[in-house]
Amino acid sequence: MAQGPEKRIENQIKRYLDSIGAWHIKTHGSMFSKAGTPDIIACVKGTFVAIEVKRPEGGKISELQKYHINAISEAGGLAFVSRSLEETKRYFETNHLV
């Protein structure tokens, strides 16, 4: 079965995280996890990072996802929406994570 655009981007980001020595985990929605939790949770150079992955066109972020991104930011972590590996790399460079 072919991967969808979000899954492809997610896998690229996870490989990138591996290449820079970051710890990360892919979250899966279940009855045991908080709804709206970002797709990838990582620790990069001691910084908590959460990434919500969306496809390049048409991928909409829900109000619950926005809430969690804001809550993580307010708690001192970094959280953002990424639509490409390049966008993730730019975010990391801007925030001095690489």
Taking a C-beta distance cutoff of 8 angstroms, is the pair 24, 17 a contact?
yes
Write down how long the chain is: 98
Helices 85-94, 5-19: crossing angle, 10 deg rounding: 40
Provide the 10 A C-beta neighbour count for residue 10.
20
Average pLDDT of the residues of the chain: 92
Q: Where are the domains of the chain?
A: 5-94
For residue 13, give the amino acid letter.
I
Strands 40-44 and 47-53, by their bridges, are antiparallel
pLDDT tens across 18-53, in order?
Answer: 999 999 999 887 667 788 899 999 999 999 999 999
What's the helix, strand, coil split of the chain in %, to 5? 40, 20, 40
- Which letter does DSSP use for residue 97 in this model? -
CA distance 56 to 40: 17
CATH 3.40.1350.10 assigned to 5-94: yes
* pLDDT(4) > 60: yes
